[in-house]
Amino acid sequence: MFITELMKRRELTVRVRRGVRLTPADDAAAVDIAHGLSGAEFSNRIPVSLSLKRALVWLTAGDGDGDSGDGDSGDGGGDGDSDPGAAPLREFRDALTGGDSHFGLLQTVALVRSNILTLGIATPRGRALADIEFSHAGRNLPDLSAPAAWGDDAKLTLSRFAYLHRENDALLLSRPLKDKRLVLRDAFAGKLLIDLGRGMTVREARDACAGDGDDGDGDLFTGVTALIHFLYNEEFLVDAGDRDRLPTRLEEGDAAMQQWDFHDALSHAHSRLGYNFGFDFGGAFPFIDIIEPRPAVKESPAGERIALYKPDLQTMAATDKRLTEVVIQRMSVRAYNEDAPVSLQQLGEFFFRTGRVLFATDARVANVHDANRQTDMGMAWRPYPTGGASYELEFYLTVDRADGLDAGIYYYAPAAHELIKLSARNEFTEGLIETAFASCARIVRPQVVVHIAARFQRVSWKYHNIAYATVLRNTGVVYQTFYLHAVAMGLAGCGLGAGNSDLFCRATGCAAHIECSIGEFMLGSLPADFDYAAIDLEASAALHQAKLATSAR
């Protein structure tokens, strides 16, 4: 909707955003904006038209009821429900007086979109129901118009993507991939959400308002109707559909939206600029001086230490296949030489190539908002690239059968280049092997499963919003690194997608929120009759087609 239309609506209020202080400058056509929303105080001065400055003086001076004194100023009619910081948007428009008021109107829209002013939905008598906040990509002003062809008996329900969460002292209703979210300001709005979760018609909403003391003039229902229209137009509400076929999956929008899982949509939206809310994104080092960074090299766990073979780099460089060959020949191999399982020496060479610490150093890092908050962060470089040089990934090996290494679970210590035995074969290691076996459709029981685990704090100590996304990307990098070196060494490798993190934590003693498996890779010896060197471009295509035919059976 256009701002001029919104400004006619009785159910809209305007306030300064929570956490923001706005002070009209004494001597200039400008306002000073201050907020502490990132844990550091910010302030800046922005030029505004004289008409907007006048309206902002009005808004901030009267704590929302302004100085218009016309008796309809959002003071709730003396019933104690009014919102002290907010004023009716219609009166804000009236305060935008002067020759440049058109410019003031445009600037008002900009302040709303940039979350300095917040629009609220209220009853005509000023009972605040919810405030509307914008993401960074906030483009469209809220749409409060009644949906077409929509009767009192239309049954609505909450989108399965809608969720409640707390931020500071606000309870928020959000939905991934949307540019707006709501701050709930009234217990009735919360009750309404419970009813909408079950499915509710507009008629039932009217009855609920009456039951909540709507005293004949329908004041509450008028505000609630505006709220419901907003929620529907912004897809927080959907038509309650057929829940029998695929419960809670088919109500949402188009086929693409129906196929998203809630947590995937949430994680995707909040780890990308544009759909994110809040003022910080990316490498901000928010925890400097608050929480110590985790060491670059994990403290070695207790257990029997097994030294690993170190290949000679010069020889390797001289004898390895060329990159193009490795890339063309790379494929997932789900078959082994059972007479000669992968050996301890091969495992040593594999992790020397892929996972060892090359060198460790300290890097000076600083909080993005406060250069005085500085500290040293340990870094330990490994052979593969990693977001933020965090090197948060650790490797654990569950061994079922290997030459020279007992069955059990081991930690790969990357600086010492050795294995540390955490336990012999037990019910958990068996479970991990069995899970990998199931993941590859029981084609082959893995000789070794390499678990890629993340020490999350290495990344979340630095990043806002993108920590987990970075860990996933880094895990993908490791998969390809593992694949390529498996080909170079003549080993059978296969990435896996469905690992069991609970079993991993039980087997290793890791606490899931501190360090947890995030990916798995099967490793074994190559069958005697399998030769990567026989794979050229054409053979590669033929092999993949043959594999597909087998798996489609």
- Asked if 534 is part of the footprint of ligand FMN (rule: CB under 6 A), the reply reads no
- Asked if 496 is part of the footprint of ligand FMN (rule: CB under 6 A), the reply reads yes
- Asked if 501 is part of the footprint of ligand FMN (rule: CB under 6 A), the reply reads no
Q: What distance in Å separates the CA atoms of residue 2 and residue 18, rounded to the nearest whole number? A: 24
- Contact region with ligand FMN (CB under 6 A), list: 31-39, 275-283, 452-460, 494-502: 494-502
* DSSP symbols for 138-170: --SPP--SPPSS--TT-EEEE-TT-EEEEETTE
Q: Which is nearer to ligand FMN, 174 or 439 (CB)?
A: 439
- Asked if 343 is part of the footprint of ligand FMN (rule: CB under 6 A), the reply reads no
- Asked if 331 is part of the footprint of ligand FMN (rule: CB under 6 A), the reply reads yes
- Contact region with ligand FMN (CB under 6 A), list: 173-181, 192-200, 220-228, 434-442: 434-442
Inter-residue contact 14 to 117 (CB < 8 Å): yes
Q: 490 Cβ partners below 8 Å, 6+ apart? A: 526, 532
Q: 351 Cβ partners below 8 Å, 6+ apart? A: 308, 395, 412, 414, 417
Q: Which of 227, 379, 440, 510 binds ligand FMN (CB under 6 A)?
A: 440
Inter-residue contact 24 to 34 (CB < 8 Å): no
Q: Which is nearer to ligand FMN, 331 or 454 (CB)?
A: 331
For residue 403, give the DSSP letter: B
Q: Which is nearer to ligand FMN, 165 or 442 (CB)?
A: 442
User: 261 in helix, strand or coil?
Assistant: coil
User: 306 in helix, strand or coil?
Assistant: strand
- Asked if 216 is part of the footprint of ligand FMN (rule: CB under 6 A), the reply reads no
Inter-residue contact 69 to 116 (CB < 8 Å): no
Q: Which is nearer to ligand FMN, 134 or 482 (CB)?
A: 482
Q: Which of 187, 302, 497, 553 binds ligand FMN (CB under 6 A)?
A: 497
Q: Which of 138, 348, 495, 524 binds ligand FMN (CB under 6 A)?
A: 495
Q: Which of 342, 453, 484, 494 binds ligand FMN (CB under 6 A)?
A: 494
Rounded to 5°, the CA angle 134-99-92 comes to 40
* H helix runs in 115-247, sequence order: 187-198, 202-211, 219-233
CB of 494 to ligand FMN, least distance (A): 5
- Contact region with ligand FMN (CB under 6 A), list: 51-59, 197-205, 248-256, 437-445: 437-445
CB of 203 to ligand FMN, least distance (A): 49
Q: Which is nearer to ligand FMN, 371 or 441 (CB)?
A: 441
Q: Which is nearer to ligand FMN, 262 or 479 (CB)?
A: 479
Q: Which is nearer to ligand FMN, 129 or 496 (CB)?
A: 496
- Asked if 479 is part of the footprint of ligand FMN (rule: CB under 6 A), the reply reads yes
- Asked if 449 is part of the footprint of ligand FMN (rule: CB under 6 A), the reply reads no
Rounded to 5°, the CA angle 114-118-121 comes to 140
Q: Which is nearer to ligand FMN, 151 or 497 (CB)?
A: 497
Q: Which two tokens stand for residue 105?
A: 């109107």
Q: Which is nearer to ligand FMN, 137 or 498 (CB)?
A: 498
Rounded to 5°, the CA angle 112-113-117 comes to 20
CB of 544 to ligand FMN, least distance (A): 6
The radius of gyration of the chain from alpha carbons, rounded to an integer in Å, stands at 30
Neighbours of 415 (CB within 10 A): 16
- Asked if 14 is part of the footprint of ligand FMN (rule: CB under 6 A), the reply reads no
With CB under 6 A as the rule, give the number of residues binding ligand FMN. 11
CB of 483 to ligand FMN, least distance (A): 7
DSSP H or E segment with residue 468: helix 467-489
CB of 103 to ligand FMN, least distance (A): 53
Q: Which is nearer to ligand FMN, 73 or 398 (CB)?
A: 398
Q: What distance in Å separates the CA atoms of residue 384 and residue 443, rounded to the nearest whole number? A: 30
Spatial CA neighbour of 222 closest among 144, 169, 281, 307 = 144
Q: 430 Cβ partners below 8 Å, 6+ apart? A: none
Q: Which of 439, 457, 500, 525 binds ligand FMN (CB under 6 A)?
A: 439
Residues of this chain that bind ligand FMN (CB under 6 A): 331-332, 439-441, 479, 494-498
